[in-house]
Amino acid sequence: MRQRPLRHTARGNLPSELSGFIGRGAELAEVGRLLEASRLVTVTGVGGVGKSRLVLAAARSAAEGAREAQDPREVRGAQEAEEAHAPGQERYCDGVWLAELACVRDPALLELALSEALGLTDHTTRPPRTVLAEHLAGKRLLLVLDGFEQLVDETAGLVRELLLRSPGLRVLAAGRRPLDLDGERTFPLAPPVPEEALALLAARASAADPGFAVTGADRAELMELCARLDGIPLALELAAGRLRTLSPAQVLARLEDRFGLLTGGVRGGLPRHRTLRTAIGWSHELCTPAERLLWARLSVFAGQFDLDAAEYVCAGPDMPVEGVLDLVGELLAQSLLVREETAAGVRFRMLETVRLYGAGWLESLGDAVRLRRRHRDWYMGLATWCELDWFSPRQHEVAALVEAELPNLRLALECCLDEPDELHLGQYLAGTLWFYWAGCGRLTEGRHWLDRTLDPPGGAVTEYESSRLKALWVLGYVAALQGDATASMCALYECRDGAARSGNRVAAAYAVHRLGCLALVSDDMSRARELLGEALEQYRAAGELNSNVLMCQVELGMALAFLGDLPGSLALCGEVREICEERGEHWTKAYALYVLAYAALDGGATQEARGLLSECVEINHAFHDLVGLVLALELLALVTVAEGEPAEAAVLQGAAEPMWGGVGLQLFGSGYFNAPRLMCRARAGELLGAERYAAYAAEGRELGREALVVRALRGAAPVPRPAERGGVPGPRVARSTAPADQP
């Protein structure tokens, strides 16, 4: 019997439930039954009927079942695990993952959105669809898709391919229409029964007004209100917001007037799509003129936004900036906005159905183009501020902010591309986000936008040379990290030549720097030393100091270490470490720590190397920097061998191996960067024997990234400063140029 490894942690990204899930017991059970019988289940229904809440409840139920099945206390030993786990229990052993697609409007970003939802980072030039399919091929998981209507054909094609190539994958989707794929089981979701509708209305009204309660006197009117709204949950939530200020009878009277106006006296029940639009339109009519105007203007945002953005984009002569906060509060009270706590602070979101209604009004007002440009201008300014603030103690906050604002930044980039005369703004914006593309695991998306702005359809040109030069060196940087040397060199040479023609000293320095970076990952250490040194001189002459400049110094330190000049390397990277600690910069510091650990291990100071690498792992993991993370983990595995723990080293080595596939071919083929991996494999294999090494490495390959990082940091020692070089000599890694092989 083949032994399946016992998985110790459930995985997934389902959000916590902010308000209770009321009723729907029968529907929830039926969706669960359909998922047992089919690999693709789509819950369909009118907007606002509760599709998203139902599939999330079903997903949470599936995730809870997976956690119970994966509890290591329930079974002992791999064979017992095999016998104890029924196929249904193991079905979602790789987690339950939610991909929210409502804000994705560019078909080219669909695969990236799914990769993001799965926590998948890939730095290569492979098509994102290929990466997704390979990642899912051996997984057993449930993928939840919500809000795909605007990309239904593209979503259907992708889901079909993933299901064909991933036998352990199941998909639960929520949309207004099915995907129309073979084997798909659909579940048309009707509004809740009257008693459940009343319970929902009462719960939401109580949340808005704790003094609200259903009494015998108004129960009949509330039941009538539910019936007039066809029990549609979104319509009920909008009505609940009004019960804070109006009696049930008043709400019902106003709603009946609205229905009569729209139906033209037609007898009988209303179609549900008209009922929802009526409920939203009724809420719109009950808003003050200023609230309606803000509703329309807020519709230009994609996903979440904060108060500062709302004030800048929406304020004007007809809406004083100091009044926006109160208007936002009113829209919140009426359930037209949702308040959410995020890593980037308090943010607001408009439900997609409500947003679309507001967008229609904005178009009818003839103000949509102006508002989209104001939206773009705000996010241009936000990106500029974030680039400057990246070199500061707020680096983690900047990363979280850009992550939260990504849907709006995408929308701003699209706005730039829609106007040929504003193409330079798109180049500037795509280039300004270099820190996010390179530092936060977004190389593939960065490459997408850089390519589009530098080579737009129709070959539009721009007179703004500085914006193009910035986009070119960022493209060269991104392509180099992806292992695409040809594209990198073409972009960097074009940037260098253009900078020479225009006298742009800063762009020239960046071009030379990134050519040196390309030489570094291509194992041409002598040329890397020459170019990186030249770039540092140009940066100093231009008065440039930021994370890029410090990274140039770290990369020069790497080249010196690989060439055997450890004192020179230590001096450069020690200085970078001090500057980073003084400025509160973390991302570049992690790479400096890597080089310092490399030198410490070469000198036999394994405890110091472990402390340095532990901090390095923490930083790179926090920023989703796959390149830095895998390098640090493999050097840490070599440290573990030197500490006399070959089994643990083999686990770490095995866990790091799958990550190399997402780093890039040029870096993967580097004899210098891969020397620690090969040396660890050789030394641990010699101590353990081939069979035991393979078993421990296989155990490591089953670890998820979170579990891997926790394990790598286990028992980490503090970093001794100043360095004490003593003890047992460590492996001599600095001058190794052994060719890398495939793991």
611-645 pLDDT tens trace: 999 999 999 999 988 889 999 999 999 999 999 99
Q: What mean pLDDT is predicted for residues 539-565? A: 95
Exposed / middle / buried, residue 317 (Cβ in 10 Å: 0-12, 13-18, 19+): exposed
309-332 pLDDT tens trace: 999 999 999 999 999 999 999 998
Q: What is the per-residue pLDDT for 704?
A: 82
Closest CA relative to residue 594, chosen from 642, 558, 646:
558
271-285 pLDDT tens trace: 455 566 777 777 788
Q: What is the DSSP letter of 339?
A: E
Q: What is the C-alpha to C-alpha distance for residues 737 and 562, in angstroms, rounded to an integer?
A: 8
Q: What is the per-residue pLDDT for 8?
A: 34
45-97 pLDDT tens trace: 877 888 999 999 999 998 887 766 554 433 333 344 333 334 445 788 889 99
98-114 pLDDT tens trace: 999 988 888 999 999 99
**Strands 338-342 and 345-349, bridge-based pairing:** antiparallel
Q: What is the C-alpha to C-alpha distance for residues 573 and 557, in angstroms, rounded to an integer?
A: 6
Most confident of 15-29, 64-78, 680-694, 722-736: 680-694
Residue 627 token pair: 């390149």
Q: What is the per-residue pLDDT for 420?
A: 82
Q: Is the pLDDT of residue 143 over 90?
A: yes
Amino acid (1-letter code) at residue 405: E
Q: What is the C-alpha to C-alpha distance for residues 304 and 325, in angstroms, rounded to an integer?
A: 16
Q: What is the per-residue pLDDT for 68?
A: 63
Q: Is the peptide bond prior to 722 cis by the omega test (within 30 degrees of 0)?
A: yes
Report the mean per-residue pLDDT for the chain: 85
CB 563 within 8 A of CB 528: no
In what order do the strands lie in the sheet containing 96-100?
96-100, 141-146, 169-175, 40-44, 185-188
Q: Is the pLDDT of residue 462 over 70?
A: no
Which residues does 364 contact at the CB level (< 8 Å), separation at least 6? none
Confidence of residue 457 (pLDDT cuts 50, 70, 90): low
**Strands 96-100 and 141-146, bridge-based pairing:** parallel
Q: What is the per-residue pLDDT for 488?
A: 94
Confidence of residue 726 (pLDDT cuts 50, 70, 90): very low
**CA torsion angle 642 643 648 650 (round to 10):** 10
Exposed / middle / buried, residue 156 (Cβ in 10 Å: 0-12, 13-18, 19+): middle
Q: What is the DSSP letter of 727?
A: S
CB atoms within 10 A of CB 498: 19
Q: What is the C-alpha to C-alpha distance for residues 160 and 158, in angstroms, rounded to an integer?
A: 5
Query: In this structure, what are the phi and psi dihedrals at residue 142, rounded to the nearest 5 degrees?
Result: -110, 125
Place of tokens 């989703």: 624
Query: In this structure, what are the phi and psi dihedrals at residue 259, rounded to the nearest 5 degrees?
Result: -60, -45
Indicate the range of 9-23, 144-158, 233-247, 649-663 predicted with least confidence. 9-23
Q: Is the pLDDT of residue 653 over 80?
A: yes
Helix, strand, coil content of the chain in percent (nearest 5): 65, 5, 30
Q: What is the per-residue pLDDT for 731?
A: 55
Query: H-type helices in 390-504, by residue range?
Result: 395-418, 423-432, 434-439, 443-454, 465-482, 485-502
Q: Is the pLDDT of residue 264 over 60?
A: no
Query: What sign for the dihedral angle of Cα 394, 395, 399, 405?
Result: positive
Q: What is the C-alpha to C-alpha distance for residues 575 and 553, in angstroms, rounded to an integer?
A: 9
pTM for this entry:
0.82
Q: What is the C-alpha to C-alpha distance for residues 354 and 142, in angstroms, rounded to an integer?
A: 29
Confidence of residue 513 (pLDDT cuts 50, 70, 90): very high
Radius of gyration for the alpha carbons in the chain, expressed in angstroms and rounded: 29
* DSSP secondary structure of 697-715: HHHHHT--HHHHHHHHHTT
Which residues does 679 contact at the CB level (< 8 Å), separation at least 6? 638, 731, 733, 736, 738
Q: Is the pLDDT of residue 570 over 80?
A: yes
Q: What mean pLDDT is predicted for residues 710-727? A: 55
Q: What is the per-residue pLDDT for 733?
A: 60
Closest CA relative to residue 520, chosen from 555, 554, 494:
555
Residue 131 token pair: 């990466």
For residue 301, give the 3-state DSSP assignment.
Answer: coil
Confidence of residue 720 (pLDDT cuts 50, 70, 90): very low
Q: What is the per-residue pLDDT for 662?
A: 74
